[in-house]
Amino acid sequence: MRRCMEESEMKSSPTLARKSNCLFPNRIPKENRLVNVVKEDEIQDRDIVRIKLAVERLSDSEELIADCSRPYTLPTICGKHKDLKSITPQTLRDLFSGEYNQFYTDYTIIDCRYPYEYNGGYIQGAVNIYTKQSIDVLLQRSEKDRPQILIFHCEFSSQRAPTLLRYLRAQDRMLNSQNYPRLYYPEVYILNGGYKAFYDHNQDFCNPSSYVPMLHEDYRSELHHIRTVTKSQTEREKTRGKSKTMSRVVRF
């Protein structure tokens, strides 16, 4: 009987009714709860549709960069790494010579060789980035400081450059996972043949005009030190659980 009286009082008092709704969320009118659920479902459905359309566009067109915003600026070839976009040394030389000035070509060349190789001769304007930690710093740049195009290479563009390029793309996808297919760096290339192939025919674009191989006998101690440090860093990351499993990327 007391419970009936309390409910009667609450119905007659708007203030008590509002307090009751705050104290007991399950008393929110059913129709309002239903509206909230429907809105959440609609948002999720829209996200699914957006992602599906982006995936279809990437799958249907080999010419769109990885965020679907526009075609690739530079002509590409079928290189050694089928999942990456490769350009020839001649294309890079043409880029230097203003061949693509009709496009907005704010680019950065990422030299993934070790410091002693880089200091022994590098492509003009290239920056030396050879660790994953440096790639993380690159991803932290503000929007105004991000170049439109990144071109990766190592000595032969066989292992080091492709590895860091894939790492950048995986991290980029993860950081923008809520806004797929948005990316900080949607247009990235690998230089086919690496520094060696470029140097063979374009020494006038190298500074200094020389070439130090990774396995040069004068730098054995430097190579051993770098490999030891890199291996140690990798082991520490695994021990601390920093290695993260990235979701599968449909296309770079």
Instruction: Tell me, yes or no, if 78 is annotated catalytic.
Output: no
Burial 75-103 (b: 16+ CB within 10 A, else e): ebeebebeebbbbbbebbbebbeeebeee
Cis-peptide, bond into residue 25, ω within 30° of zero = no
Residue environment code for 204-228, b if the CB has 16+ CB neighbours within 10 A, otherwise e: ebbeeeebbebeeeebeeeeeebee
Angstrom distance (rounded) from CA 71 to CA 64: 4
Q: What is the DSSP letter of 194?
A: H
In sequence order, the β-bridge partners of residue 152 are: 110, 190
DSSP 8-state code for residue 205: G
16 vs 243: CA distance, rounded Å:
53
Who contacts 196 (Cβ-Cβ below 8 Å, separation ≥6)? 155, 156, 211
Task: Given the residues 68, 78, 112, 154, select the one marked as catalytic.
Answer: 154
Residue 62, CA atoms < 13 Å, CB-side half-sphere: 9
> 152: closest CA among 138, 11, 144?
138
Catalytically annotated residues = 154
